[in-house]
A = this chain, B = another copy of it.
Amino acid sequence: MADIKQSEIARLAGVSQATVSRVLNNDPQVNEEMRRRVLAVVEMLGYVPDARAQSLRAQRTRLLGLVIHRAPHALAYDPFFSALMASIIEEAGRHGYHLCVDAARTPRSQRAIYEELLRTRRVDGLILVESETRDQRIVRLTEQGFPFVLLGRYDPPDAICSVDNDNVGAGFMATEFLIRKGHRRIAYIGGASGLTVTRDRLQGYRHALEQHGIAYDPHYVVFTESSLLGGQRAMEDLLQLPQPPTAVVAMDDLIAVGAMRTAQGHGIRIPDEMAFIGFNDTPLCEMVEPTLTSVAIDIPTLARVATERLIALIEGRPVEPRRLIVPAQLRERESTG
């Protein structure tokens, strides 16, 4: 049924298989009469070229790769990745590409997955998320000359194509916002301390304190796992302090909500006694009580730009500048009064 190939079309149209290929690829070299004849047959049989053959011949699959780490947890619980995926898929589709999503449970399986995708040439390029400060993937991909784009890294090596939200700026924005509300004892809860995103937002936090003449107190900075539970644990620690903070900047919404829950559990009223601010402006913000102020990452733009650039790299078009930063935006809600 579906086993129609170009040679079949060619036979029915009375032309050579090469001509069929030319017609389908809009080769200007082909005569109008021939084109019509071929297209008529193609139309009639509903022929579409076999992607597998095209992949081999053209040495490109038109597949982009995205690997989610810390699966299945991150994928199932963090809407950031889902939102990112949705926009990547959309933009990829606009260019005739598809998205292959993989997931890794452990750093070890992660390495293996990248290695496989790379070696088997199953995908044409990769979007790297959750880049760490000294990322082996970057080294490996670069030495292989494999197209990739970093998404979500603030200080990539030069010559690496990257797109990032302005994490330093976002950290600064969140912290300054709280300072202007009158807070002086502001805590920062980070995710894994190795992640650049954790560090970048922390840097913005310190910047804001400094700029407003508030001394940096390391007791107010804790690192935890990026999850509801992580936020809860971190908050427990902060509440042990002789002088607990009056406001909390949490590295993501999940952590923020976890921290809020714990604070509420201790009878603390939000935002009157303690203010909270998260990052990513996930749907979660609207779902909790009180609703959570969050610094918005423009995920659709981030995804769109990263995808566009990756495809440009794959197709050998120039990509300048190598590094692009998408600005953040603060969405004020109830948790900051």
Contact = CB atoms under 8 A, between A and B. Distances in A.
A90 B107 CA distance: 15
B89 A83 contact: no
B72 A61 contact: no
Given A48-B120, A63-B100, A99-B100, 19 more contacts: A2-B119, A50-B56, A51-B122, A52-B55, A52-B59, A52-B61, A52-B121, A68-B86, A72-B300, A76-B86, A76-B283, A86-B103, A93-B103, A98-B100, A98-B102, A99-B101, A100-B100, A228-B286, A261-B287
Contact of A79 (B68, B79, B120, B261): B79
Interface of A: 1-2, 46, 48-53, 55-56, 59, 61, 63, 68, 71-72, 75-77, 79, 81-83, 85-87, 89-90, 93, 98-103, 105, 116, 118-122, 143-146, 228, 257, 261, 264, 283-284, 286-289, 300
A52 to B, nearest CB: 4
A89 B61 contact: no
A144 B2 contact: yes
Contacts of A50: 56, 120-121
Copies of this chain in its oligomeric complex: 2
Nearest to A227: B283
A82 B89 contact: no
16 contacts: A55-B55, A71-B86, A71-B89, A72-B90, A76-B283, A89-B102, A98-B122, A99-B102, A100-B101, A101-B101, A228-B283, A228-B287, A257-B287, A284-B284, A287-B287, A289-B289
Contacts of A86: 68, 71-72, 75-76, 103
Contacts of A89: 71, 101-103
